[in-house]
Amino acid sequence: AETHLQRSAEIAAGAYGPDHWLTLSARQQLAGVYDDSGRSDEAVPILEDVVARWLKAEGPESAHTISAQSDLSVTLTSLARYD
């Protein structure tokens, strides 16, 4: 799954740019794979960037933003980072 998601994110970013919903979705899913495989520390910077890009593109009340923030919260919790 990781290889496919990495490639999907690269293709989407090249074709549509880093802020396109397909790119952000693939990156968010990739971060989920990292988190699920015990690599939460690698997932955090990806999710932080995805959240920032969704906030800029759609605002704080967007379903995309809320979903990414939720994923980031779960990942931070798994690292015992409660700040």
pLDDT value of position 13:
98
Q: How far apart are CA 8 and CA 22, in angstroms?
A: 9
Measured N-to-C along each axis, helices 2-16 and 21-36 cross at an angle, to the nearest 10 degrees, of: 160
83 has pLDDT over 90 = no
pLDDT value of position 63:
97
Tens digit of each residue's pLDDT (9 = 90 or more) over 65-77 = 999 999 999 999 9
Is the pTM for the entire model greater than 0.85? Answer: yes
